[in-house]
C-alpha cells in the first residue's frame, strides 16, 4: 500500500503557493554575525610547532584545571589565530602557548622556567609567568569578538 505517500504528495501539492517555506523564512537569522571568538597572537619568534590556546571560564581553574575550550593554530610569519566557536556569553580569559616542539605542553628547563613562549588575553602575561585572572579576563557577549595579544618568551 502506498496510500500514505500518495496522501502526503497531495497535501504538499495543495499547500498555498504564497506560504513561505521554512528555508526561505529566516533572513534575520542569516544576517546575524556568527558566534566566533578569535585570539590572534603576534611576535612569535618562529613558525615552528603550533599555537595552543585555552579558553578559561572560571577564575578557580585559571591556568590550573581543564579549560572550557581548546584551540590549536598553525603559525605563519610569526602570527597565529586560535578560533573558538559556539561560546556562550560570559566572562573568560585566554592563555596561549607557543608549542615549538608540538608535544602539547609547556617545556621548562631544569629550574622549571618555561622555555616556550606564553601569552594571555589583554597581554596580562607581561612580566608574569602566571598572569592574574583579573588582568586577563574579558567579557564575551556573543557574536564576533577578535582579540589580539603578544607572545613573550
Q: Give the interface with Ca ion as residue ranges (CB under 5 A).
A: 99, 101, 103, 107
How far apart are CB 85 and Ca ion at their closest, in Å? Answer: 25
DSSP codes, 68-110: SEEEEE--BTTBEEEEEESPPSEEEEEEEEEETT-SSS--B-T
Note whether 72 and 39 are within 8 A (CB): no
Complex with Ca ion: residue 101 or 126, whichever CB lies closer: 101
Complex with Ca ion: residue 16 or 112, whichever CB lies closer: 112
Task: For residue 18, give the C-alpha cell.
Answer: 504564497
How far apart are CB 153 and Ca ion at their closest, in Å? Answer: 13
How far apart are CB 109 and Ca ion at their closest, in Å? Answer: 12
Complex with Ca ion: residue 103 or 126, whichever CB lies closer: 103
Amino acid at each position: 500500500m502506498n496510500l500514505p505517500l500518495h496522501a502526503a504528495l497531495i497535501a504538499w501539492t495543495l499547500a498555498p503557493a504564497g506560504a513561505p517555506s521554512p528555508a526561505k523564512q529566516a533572513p534575520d537569522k542569516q544576517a546575524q554575525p556568527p558566534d566566533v571568538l578569535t585570539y590572534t597572537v603576534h611576535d612569535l619568534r618562529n613558525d615552528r610547532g603550533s599555537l595552543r590556546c585555552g579558553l578559561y571560564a572560571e577564575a578557580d581553574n585559571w591556568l590550573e584545571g581543564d579549560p572550557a575550550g581548546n584551540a590549536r593554530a598553525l603559525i605563519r610569519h610569526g602570527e597565529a589565530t586560535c578560533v573558538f566557536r559556539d561560546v556562550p556569553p560570559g566572562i573568560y580569559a585566554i592563555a596561549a602557548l607557543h608549542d615549538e616542539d608540538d608535544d602539547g605542553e609547556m617545556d621548562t628547563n631544569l629550574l622549571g622556567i618555561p622555555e616556550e613562549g606564553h601569552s594571555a588575553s589583554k597581554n596580562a602575561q607581561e612580566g608574569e609567568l602566571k598572569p592574574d585572572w583579573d588582568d586577563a579576563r574579558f567579557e564575551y557577549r556573543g557574536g564576533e569578538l577578535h582579540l589580539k595579544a603578544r607572545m613573550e618568551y
